[in-house]
Amino acid sequence: NAGVTQTPKFQVLKTGQSMTLQCAQDMNHEYMSWYRQDPGMGLRLIHYSVGAGITDQGEVPNGYNVSRSTTEDFPLRLLSAAPSQTSVYFCASRTAGGGSFYEQYFGPGTRLTVT
């Protein structure tokens, strides 16, 4: 199992450019989510999905779009990059179960710089 994979690992964008961060998981998890991590701010939820075809906004959704056409893939689109979107982005997945199944598995992260 590869777990949760993310591409690219690093990206530099100019203000106004758009791009898609890729995320895939091979654990057949229902739940997937995107976080951004900034110094002193912790992990903040951008968007999440509870299954194919179902997405919802998290804490900081502005400037980002998501879609979930398959269980495995959950891409994050930056519509028009801004310097405030410079951050480390983590994709995560977990099963729908409770108890210890709330363990989230994270991808290795994408380090994005917007100039």
List contacts with another protein (CB under 8 A): 31, 35, 40-45, 48, 50, 58, 90, 99-100, 102-104, 106-109
5 versus 67: smaller Cβ distance to another protein: 5
Q: In sequence order, what DSSP letters do the residues of 41-61 get, joined into one string?
A: TEEEEEEEEEETTEEEE-SS-
67 versus 104: smaller Cβ distance to another protein: 104
Q: Three-class SS of residue 102?
A: helix
15 versus 62: smaller Cβ distance to another protein: 62
Name the amino acid, one letter, at 74: F
Work out how close the CB of 89 gets to another protein at its nearest, in angstroms, rounded to a whole number. Answer: 11
Closest CA to 88 of 19, 38, 42, 47: 38
28's enclosing H/E stretch is none
Work out how close the CB of 16 gets to another protein at its nearest, in angstroms, rounded to a whole number. Answer: 28
16 versus 53: smaller Cβ distance to another protein: 53
Work out how close the CB of 80 gets to another protein at its nearest, in angstroms, rounded to a whole number. Answer: 26
How many other C-beta atoms lie within 10 A of the C-beta of residue 9?
10
